[in-house]
Structure 1
Amino acid sequence: MKRCFHSFSARILSVAMGVLPLVSLVSLVTYADRSLAGDLNRQLAIPLNSGTLSQVRKAGDRWMMAGDRQQQQGQMEAAIESWQKALELYRRVVDQEAQGLVYRRLAKAYLELGRPIESEDAARRALGFARTLNDYQNQILGYNDVGLLLMKRDPSEAERSFAEGVRIATVLKDTPGLGTSLSNWGLAAKATGQYAAAIERLQKGLPYQRIALDFAGESRSYQGLGESYFALGEYQKAAGNYISALVLARQSKQHQVAFQALEGLAMAYDRLGANNAAIEALLDRVRLAGRTLEPVQVVEALQTIAEYYYQKKDWAMTDRVYEQAIQIAEANQLDKDLPQLRKSLENLRNEFYFRRVRQ
Structure 2
Amino acid sequence: MKSFSLKLLKSSNCKVRSGFLFPLAFCVLSVAFYIPMHSPLPVSAQATDARQAEGDRLMKQGLQQYKTGQLRAALNSWQQALQIYRALKNRQGEGWALGFLGFAYDSLGNNAKAIEYREQSLALAREIKDRQLEGAALGTLEDAYRSLGNYAKVIEYSQQRLAITRELKDRQGEGAVLGTLGDAYRSLGHYAKAIEYAQQSLAIARELKDRQGEGAALGNLGFAYLSLNNYAKAIEYTQQSLTIARELKDRKREDLALDILGMAYRSLGNYAKVIEYAQQSLAIARELKDRQGEGKALGILGSAYHFLNNSAKVIEYSQQLLAIARELKDREREGWALGSLGIAYRSLSDYAKAIEYAQQSLVIARELKDRKGEGVALGILGDAYRSLGNYAKVIEYLQQRLAIARELKDRHIERLALANLGDAYYSVGNSAKAIEYGQQTLAIAREIKDPQSEGVALGNLGLAYRSV
Which interval holds the TM-score relative to the shorter structure?
A: 0.7 to 0.9
**Structure 1 residues 167 and 59: CA distance shift in structure 2, 3 A:** same
Is 1:145 matched with 2:215?
A: no
Give the CA deviation at 1:279: 3.0
Does the C-alpha gap of structure 1 residues 266 and 178 become closer, same or farther in structure 2, counting only changes over 3 Å?
same
Correspondence for 2:166 among 131, 137, 162: 131
2: CA distance between counterparts of 1:238 and 1:342? 26
Is structure 2 residue 23 aligned with structure 1 residue 39?
yes
2:374 pairs, out of 341, 344, 349, with 341
The one of 266, 280, 300 aligned to 2:302:
266
Q: Cα distance, 1:312 vs. partner?
A: 7.5
Computing the radius of gyration from Cα coordinates, the structure with the larger value is 2
Q: Does the Cα contact within 8 Å between 1:223 and 1:257 map onto a contact in 2?
A: no
Percentage of matched positions with identical amino acids: 24
Q: Alpha carbon RMSD of aligned pairs, Å?
A: 3.4
Aligned pair in 2 of structure 1 residues 235, 124: CA closer, same or farther (>3 Å)?
same
Q: What is the alpha-carbon distance in structure 1 between the residues aligned to residue 33 and residue 134 of structure 2? A: 10
| 1:123 and 1:145 in contact (8 A); partners too | yes
- State the Cα distance separating 1:105 from its structure 2 match: 1.0
Measure the CA separation in 2 of the matches of 1:264 and 1:183: 20
- Residue in 1 that maps onto 2:92: 57
The offset of 1:255, in angstroms, is: 5.0
Indicate the residue corresponding to 2:325 in structure 1.
289
- Alpha-carbon distance in 1 for matches of 2:205, 2:354: 51
Alignment coverage as a number of residue pairs: 321
Counterpart-to-counterpart distance in 1, 2:21 and 2:139: 10
Query: Which of 195, 199, 202 does residue 166 from structure 1 map onto?
Result: 202
Instruction: Decide whether the 8 Å contact of 1:150 with 1:157 is kept in 2.
Output: yes
Look up the match of 1:351.
394
Using structure 1 for the length normalisation, give the TM-score.
Answer: 0.76
Instruction: Check 1:309–1:155 CA distance in 2 against 1; reply closer, same or farther (3 A cut).
Output: farther
The whole-number CA distance in structure 1 between the counterparts of 2:244 and 2:373 is 43
Q: Distance in 1 between matches of 2:126 and 2:273?
A: 53
Query: Contact between 1:185 and 1:201, CA under 8 Å: does it hold in 2?
Result: yes
| AA in 2 matched with 1:146 | L
State the Cα deviation string for residues 200-258 of structure 1 (Å, max 9, x = none): 21111222112322211101111211222232333322221121122113333555554
Give runs of aligned pairs for residues 203-222 of structure 1, distance below 5 A: 203-222=239-258
The runs of 5 or more residues in structure 1 that have no matched partner are 1-33
Contact 2:342/2:354 (CA < 8 Å) preserved in 1?
Answer: yes
Pick aligned residue for 1:242 from 270, 278, 283: 278
Deviations 1:65-114, CA, capped at 9 Å, x for gaps: 33333333332212211221121111122211111111111112122234
Distance 1:342 1:288 in 2: 24
Alpha-carbon offset, residue 189 of structure 1: 1.4
In the alignment, which residue of structure 2 is the partner of 1:89? 124
Spell out, residue by residue over 1:156-215, the C-alpha distance to the aligned partner (whole angstroms, 9 max, x if none).
322222222211111111121122221221122112111111212111122211232221
What are structure 2's unaligned runs of at least 5 residues? 1-17, 36-87, 383-391, 397-420, 430-468
Partner of 2:101: 66
SS at match of 1:336: coil
Secondary structure class of the residue paired with 1:151: helix
Q: Which residue of 1 aligns with 2:288?
A: 252
Distance 1:232 1:345, change over 3 A: closer
Contact 2:365 2:373 in 1 (8 A): no
TM-score under structure 2 normalisation?
0.60
- The DSSP-based 3-state class of the residue aligned with 1:163 is helix
- SS at structure 2 position matched to 1:233: coil
For 1:18, the equivalent position in structure 2 comes to none
The structural deviation recorded for 1:320 is 1.8
1:169 and 1:177 in contact (8 A); partners too: yes
- Cα deviations by residue, 1:313-335 (Å, 9 ceiling, x for unpaired): 876544322322245568xxx44
Q: Which residue of 2 aligns with 1:110?
A: 145
- Per the TM alignment, residue 127 of structure 1 is displaced from its structure 2 partner at its CA by 2.9
Q: In 1, Cα distance between the equivalents of 2:92 and 2:227? A: 44
Q: Distance in 1 between matches of 2:207 and 2:221?
A: 17
SS at match of 2:299: helix
Higher RCO (CA 8 Å, separation ≥ 6 residues): 1
The 3-state SS of whatever aligns with 2:269 is coil
- 1:121 matched to 2:144? The reply is no
In structure 2, C-alpha distance between the alignment counterparts of 1:209 and 1:147, rounded to whole Å: 20
Q: Partner amino acid for 2:356?
A: R
Per-residue CA deviation, residues 248-285 of structure 1 (Å, 9 max, x unaligned), is: 13333555554443333234334445442233223222
Determine the structure 2 residue equivalent to 1:224: 260
2:21 touches 2:219 (CA, 8 Å); kept in 1?
no
